[in-house]
Structure 1
Amino acid sequence: MPKKSSAAKKKALPFDLPLPDDRFLNRELAWLAFNERVLDQAADDSLPLLERAKFLAITGSNLDEFVMVRMGGLQLQFARNAMVRDAAGLTVSQQVNAVSSRCKEFVDRQYTLLREDLEPRLAEAGVCRVDLDDCHDRAREVAQRRFESDVSAVLSPQAITHDRPFPLLQGLAINLCVRLRAVSQPGKTEELEDGDAWQYAVIPLGRTVPRMIPVPTEKGHGYVLLEDLVCHYVEDFFPGREVMECVAFRITRNADIELQEDGAMDLVDGMEDVLESRRLSRVVRLEYGANASDHSVAFLSEMMQLTNQDLYKVDGPLDLGYLFTLHGLEGFDSLRETPWLPQANIDIDPAEPMFSTIAKGDLLLIHPYERFDPIVRLIEEAAVDPDVLAIKQVLYRTSGKSPIVSALMRAAERGKYVSVIVELKARFDEARNIEWAREMEQAGVQVIYGIRGLKTHAKVCIIVRREPQGIVRYMHFGTGNYNESTAKIYSDVSLLTCNDTLGADATTFFNAVTGASQPQQLQLLAAAPMTLRKRLLNLIEAETRRCQEGQKAEITAKINSLVDTEVIDALYRASQVGVRIRLNVRGICCLRPGVKGLSDSIEVISIVDRFLEHARIIYFRHGGDDELFISSADWMPRNLDRRVELMVPVIEQACRDKLLSTLKTYFKDNTNCWRMLPTGMYERIVPATKKAVPFQSQRVLHERAVASVTKAKQSRRTTFETHEPKREGE
């Protein structure tokens, strides 16, 4: 063991040294900072217009989910005890005020960008939102025809009277509030005063009629939004009545409703009750058009029992999701980035069975730069392979028409033993997972609905195959879901292996979950909530002790969120003795980097680019014997304590080299990378000098995948392969 250097002695600190009280950032404000980085992408002039529109749509979708879940949760906490403090020292009341204020500022930024920049420039490029009050006759004629043929027959107004209560409206759906002049009593002609009662009706627009209605324009693509179309012809719904006002509004309901499992006799029935509860839950946000009068806003607020804090005035179209549709318009390729197509992995021969390929050595795939197809193909081949005895898999989220689910059902129908853990508590995918679970059960799949009190979030598939040398277990471990659609836009990692020790661990882990039993000691895998937290803390502490002893010590990690206070404190202590710590945290980060005496050696970056960064990759120098892992878990209390997760070591050297190279690539980014400051704010990293070469990590990873395939093709063209005669018995 090397002797301690004098420098190391100065840095050495006891592990129980007190840490400052203000060392944590609020998680809600940290998440909003992430969405602000996405909004900065929408404002980036260097990106094509439709790409910027897509990023703006993403910010809207992100904010919707945040308000549903996090704001909804804060309001529930506020009702219970407004003075409880979080790790950052903020009371619930302070958090609600700060989050509400920051959200409203964010919405103003969104719509200023849309009104003053994106929409005018899109119109110049031929993608124009048409104003029916100011357009040529041909466009108005087409719009009226569409209203009369497709819209008015579908939609129905609902009058609000003393015997007709306010309707139960769907969360996040657009509605119209129509203010009507009250019907005068016979013989009375006096005008209504402001204090008199207006009459109101609501028109839910639903999701049957497309939101974007194409109309002709002088050039390019013109469209009218459904709410604008209905507002323009709204008087057709109220013959003989005078419409005083028509304004679009949208409500957001609290979705922070979890299953009370102690009282649920049947998990499927319990989850269906949760879905129904969300449909009826309290309104936590009301968005309304900027043209709304005080009368209508007061009416809607009263009907839903809202405060000013819950009201969001929007100067533009509610729900920016329509911009996703714009991004997919045909004929406007110049307004989009050239697609980066996933590449084939050169070590996978499409003519060779996946089992033979994996048996030659472990495979590491970096998605979406490399195709997800091999994982789908592995399961599809297993479904029909006569030597496959069993398939065991965890499904957290899947695609709408999942080929993996179809393959699992096909395997069961062929008599294979198929066990699938379907996580019914995957938020916002509960209904789809319930449907898949029932279909798989009917096909003969043994379906396990997760574990009471925990979410099963691990990404693992085990295929048990009979081979001449005995039973072999082929496995897939991943950082992302078994969803071939999101695998094209999420940055994730897949490991394909038939390593005996990993196979034994994976089987022990899976059987413990399905059998609701205490798992035996795992040799290589770390599983939450049993051993992952302890393993992670031990690895951090080991680097800390090595650094205290004068050795080089380094921790590098790529995760989505860093919230757990115990892990953060362990990182602070490591930094205090000089461990070099580099963190790539996409979203929430409650750690303060670069604080003198606390986190001097900690660097935190965040990549916001074309693909959603989703992979979890963890590296420890470990005295020169590098430890590399992929994981399904972020460093949050929910992942380490309340979910079933896996952290998987990457063992084979070629895979380790590839994974470490990928991890290091992100820290070279000077194009779409943000550096976190001690305050929790972020600054964009730019090339150091005018002559410095821009480095975009996602582009580099894509180009590497393309170059690898190109090189393999060239190699095959310069290699002579002979046709061998068929031998007797073959």
Structure 2
Amino acid sequence: MPASRTAKPKVARPASETPSQPVDPLPRYLNRELEWLEFNSRVLDQASDSSVRLLERAKFLAITGSNLDEFVMVRVGSLKLQGQSGAGRRDPAGLTASEQLQAVARRCHRHVTRQYEILRNEIQPSLAERQVTRVDLNQCSDRTLAAAERHFRGDVVAVLSPQALHDRRFPMLPGLGIHLCVQLRGVAELAPQNTTKVVTGDSPNTDADQEFEPQFAVIPLGRTLPRIVPLPADKSGPTGAMPGGDNSYHYVLLEDLVTHFVDDFFPGREVIQCKPFRITRNADVELREDGAGDLLGGMEEVLESRRLSDVVRLEMDASSSDAIRNYLIESFYVDPEFVFQIDGPLDLTYLFGLHSLEGFSSLRDEPWPPQRSPAIAADETMFTSIAEGDIMLMHPYETFDPVVRLVEEAAIDPDVLAVKQILYRTSRNSPIVAALIRAAERGKYVTAIVELKARFDEARNIEWAREMEQAGVQVIYGIRGLKTHAKVCIIVRREPQGLVRYVHFGTGNYNEVTANLYGDISLLTKDESLGTDATMFFNAVTGASQPQPFQQLAIAPLTLRRTLLEMIRGETERSKQGQRGEIIAKLNALVDTEVIDALYEASQAGVKIQLNVRGVCCLRPGIPGLSETIEVISIVDRFLEHARLMYFRHGGDHKIFISSADWMPRNLDRRVELLVPVNGPEIRKKLRETLQLYFRDNQNAWRMQPDGSYERIRVSKKQKPVRAQETLYREAVQAMKDLKQSSQMTFETHRPTK
């Protein structure tokens, strides 16, 4: 159990109720933003873990950079807007927006410092030992420098364009791109003519000492040119000039290459300094739906507004001159606390490119190819397999192909009458979208709810929506004021017994690419009541009508919160009556205070509560008199834990649910979500065992402490090492081996052809 405190924390009252009261030093809830940064620190720990293979460590470092970018764009951007509004409202942890910003800035600076310490002291030296080397053009051989110059003159100089800056007027630079700020020495031609320099004090008036105001230019590097430029090795032997070399890979980053030859852009001028910088713009720009008559057009305006929004973070090379530093800060109006001087390459996501290098397989994880589910026969249609009983898939241990196959088969099956699906995020070349288009072109009734407000996927979803509309798909752009986040696909098929609904419910998106990286659950069923509920739910969304009472499903924002609280309070009441109460939940985030309070109450009644929360958890576990029966762990491993899965003992009835919703106000109140019961006994048993498995993990699990910090769970000498993700994969492999072995022991006769 987590370490505990001796005193029960008091509840901090909202500032609106007691504006003059001091904030309680130990509030009932933890701050969401600081807990997110705590999560990213757990990811960063993987980059520093010597037991993790080297290129995987580089990938984790890149992930922390990408995560922090999105956090600053969205969460810091939101806090800045709150602070500018002048509202003194406090969050559940008792902090105002300005207090949160100060705390976040301090944590971000510590986090960035640690990122680059790991890069400089651990990742880069270890990669260099394995002949993956970042070349310093100031210290390389003539051969390497000549190759760099050929690449610059042949592929770079014709693409990039410098732009002189006047009166601090920057061109509209995109956020998160790498740009170069060039400081040029002022020239006499640009100075006022026929002026006499006045001598004051003991300063001599000499032409040699005459200085002119420095000038600046910017070179945006854009996204057309690759950031990693391969170069031949300095030493004799294998050159490793191109990716895929067995022994070495030498490279230079684009910004270093351009900096080295920057004089070519400014003939006749003296370059004093050229340094990279990067800006982050506020992405917390939402659509005012009450004023948007055309949602699609309104979303395009949101994308444009995001491109032009204020700068909330400035990153620059730590060796930048005072002139460049001051010029950038004043030009972008950035708060000093969100100016980051980086001792290393800006934007760590370039490490993703190194992770994918060919020829260095020993530096990456052993491949875990997704397995075929034993419940799905390769020589049968998906409809035949599902008709034999509910099927549960655990991705990425089991392949996502059956979900894609189901939609593709529906597109060409003459007995399929209709396909209805919600698309929140899809892949760039989505086979599911292509199948929906084929289905519509074949005359089937196809309806797609495309959520245009899916942050950072808006542009792609707009493109898909238009393409599907042109093919005859009935496209619905979600619900006014809500994001449609549920994952469901309904296929209506004519069969001898009448119309049958085949339904897919999921915890993750219809994206076959991320399905190989995210841990999610799929449920495939032809259960009549679930099919009826799914159809009623879908029609209520598309028809903007009041949903009728469901038999099994719970839907946010209408009934999901109530159902969830009823399940928690049911365990509380049973425990008060002397029965055994137990809750196990796997989530991405736990933020909602009403749910947290219900869990606190359940804990005080003696309910055993185990929470596996990947990211933000605002609940304080292990506090006597409040949450002493609550344990919170977080798993950070090879795959992103994304499934929402929950178990309630329910008096021995063992209720299991999968869901698209985390326990956050946005999911329970401002999104369209689903809570889906799992009815098959074998599937329920498997999911319960999976939930319990995570709490036996002693390789990649962290236990949350009452103060919001985390301690890594270490295996003792007496314990057997348990790694949950590896166990789940090995179980999927073994299931296929067992299937093949059983099929080899079965005699199959040849039958005469008709």
TM bracket (short chain):
over 0.9
Picking from 172, 188, 199, the partner of 1:168 is: 172
1:59 is matched with which residue?
Answer: 64
1:326 is matched with which residue?
Answer: 354
| TM-superposition CA deviations, 1:142-177 (whole Å, max 9, x none) | 100000000011000000124x83111000000000
What pairs up with 1:101-500 in 2 under 5 angstroms?
Answer: 101-162=106-167, 165-185=169-189, 190=207, 197-217=213-233, 218=235, 220-500=248-528
The answer to whether the aligner puts 1:74 opposite 2:79 as a matched pair is yes
- Counterpart AA for 2:118: L
Q: Distance in 1 between matches of 2:637 and 2:400?
A: 20
| Aligned residue-pair number | 708
8 Å contact from structure 2 (residues 397, 729) kept in 1: yes
1:23 is paired with a residue whose SS is coil
1:100 is matched with which residue?
Answer: 105
The answer to whether the aligner puts 1:590 opposite 2:618 as a matched pair is yes
* 1:683 CA displacement: 0.2
1:114 is paired with a residue whose SS is helix
Picking from 87, 90, 110, the partner of 2:92 is: 87
- Counterpart AA for 1:719: T
- Counterpart AA for 2:753: K
Q: Distance in 2 between matches of 1:67 and 1:327?
A: 25
Q: Distance in 2 between matches of 1:158 and 1:664?
A: 59
| TM-superposition CA deviations, 1:476-517 (whole Å, max 9, x none) | 000000000000000000000000000110000000000011
Q: Distance in 2 between matches of 1:318 and 1:115?
A: 13
What pairs up with 1:541-560 in 2 under 5 angstroms?
Answer: 541-560=569-588
1:10 is matched with which residue?
Answer: none
8 Å contact from structure 2 (residues 185, 213) kept in 1: no
1:701 is paired with a residue whose SS is helix
8 Å contact from structure 1 (residues 555, 582) kept in 2: yes
* 1:23 CA displacement: 1.2
8 Å contact from structure 1 (residues 592, 678) kept in 2: yes
Q: Distance in 1 between matches of 2:152 and 2:58?
A: 27
Q: Distance in 1 between matches of 2:598 and 2:388?
A: 39
Q: Distance in 1 between matches of 2:644 and 2:76?
A: 27
TM norm structure 1: 0.95
1:724 is matched with which residue?
Answer: 751
1:704 is matched with which residue?
Answer: 731
2:54 is matched with which residue?
Answer: 49
* 1:187 CA displacement: 8.7
* 1:249 CA displacement: 0.2
- Counterpart AA for 1:595: I
* 1:190 CA displacement: 3.7
Moved more, 179-188 or 415-424: 179-188
8 Å contact from structure 1 (residues 546, 623) kept in 2: yes
* 1:193 CA displacement: 7.6
* 1:724 CA displacement: 2.1
2:348 is paired with a residue whose SS is coil
Q: Distance in 2 between matches of 1:481 and 1:453?
A: 21
- Counterpart AA for 2:232: P
| TM-superposition CA deviations, 1:413-470 (whole Å, max 9, x none) | 0000000000000000000000000000000000000000000000000000000000
* 1:720 CA displacement: 1.2
What pairs up with 1:637-652 in 2 under 5 angstroms?
Answer: 637-652=665-680
1:686 is paired with a residue whose SS is coil
* 1:305 CA displacement: 1.1
- Counterpart AA for 2:125: P
* 1:343 CA displacement: 0.2
- Counterpart AA for 1:576: Q
| Structure 1 residues 572 and 191: CA distance shift in structure 2, 3 A | farther
Q: Distance in 1 between matches of 2:721 and 2:127?
A: 27
Q: Distance in 2 between matches of 1:263 and 1:192?
A: 61
1:89 is paired with a residue whose SS is coil
8 Å contact from structure 1 (residues 44, 52) kept in 2: yes
Unaligned runs of 5+ in 1: 1-15
Q: Distance in 2 between matches of 1:271 and 1:249?
A: 29
Q: Distance in 2 between matches of 1:418 and 1:75?
A: 43
8 Å contact from structure 1 (residues 81, 92) kept in 2: no
Q: Distance in 2 between matches of 1:433 and 1:481?
A: 13
8 Å contact from structure 1 (residues 82, 93) kept in 2: no
| TM-superposition CA deviations, 1:88-121 (whole Å, max 9, x none) | 0011111000001100110000001101111011
1:574 is matched with which residue?
Answer: 602
Q: Distance in 2 between matches of 1:237 and 1:303?
A: 23
8 Å contact from structure 2 (residues 588, 641) kept in 1: yes
| TM-superposition CA deviations, 1:258-316 (whole Å, max 9, x none) | 00000001000000000000000000000001110111010011111122112001110
| TM-superposition CA deviations, 1:56-92 (whole Å, max 9, x none) | 0000000000000000000000101253210000111
Q: Distance in 1 between matches of 2:483 and 2:458?
A: 12
Q: Distance in 2 between matches of 1:192 and 1:116?
A: 43
Picking from 25, 29, 33, the partner of 1:28 is: 33
1:566 is paired with a residue whose SS is helix
8 Å contact from structure 2 (residues 377, 385) kept in 1: yes
Picking from 632, 656, 659, the partner of 2:660 is: 632
- Counterpart AA for 1:554: E
1:694 is matched with which residue?
Answer: 721
Aligned-residue identity in percent: 65
Moved more, 653-662 or 466-475: 653-662
- Counterpart AA for 2:653: D
2:20 is matched with which residue?
Answer: none
* 1:714 CA displacement: 1.1
* 1:199 CA displacement: 0.1
Q: Distance in 2 between matches of 1:345 and 1:187?
A: 85
TM norm structure 2: 0.92
Q: Distance in 2 between matches of 1:467 and 1:525?
A: 25
Q: Distance in 1 between matches of 2:208 and 2:415?
A: 85
- Counterpart AA for 1:718: M
Q: Distance in 1 between matches of 2:456 and 2:65?
A: 17
- Counterpart AA for 1:38: V
Unaligned runs of 5+ in 2: 1-10, 15-23, 196-205, 239-247
Q: Distance in 2 between matches of 1:313 and 1:323?
A: 20
Q: Distance in 1 between matches of 2:316 and 2:718?
A: 48
| Structure 1 residues 305 and 442: CA distance shift in structure 2, 3 A | same
What pairs up with 1:500-539 in 2 under 5 angstroms?
Answer: 500-539=528-567
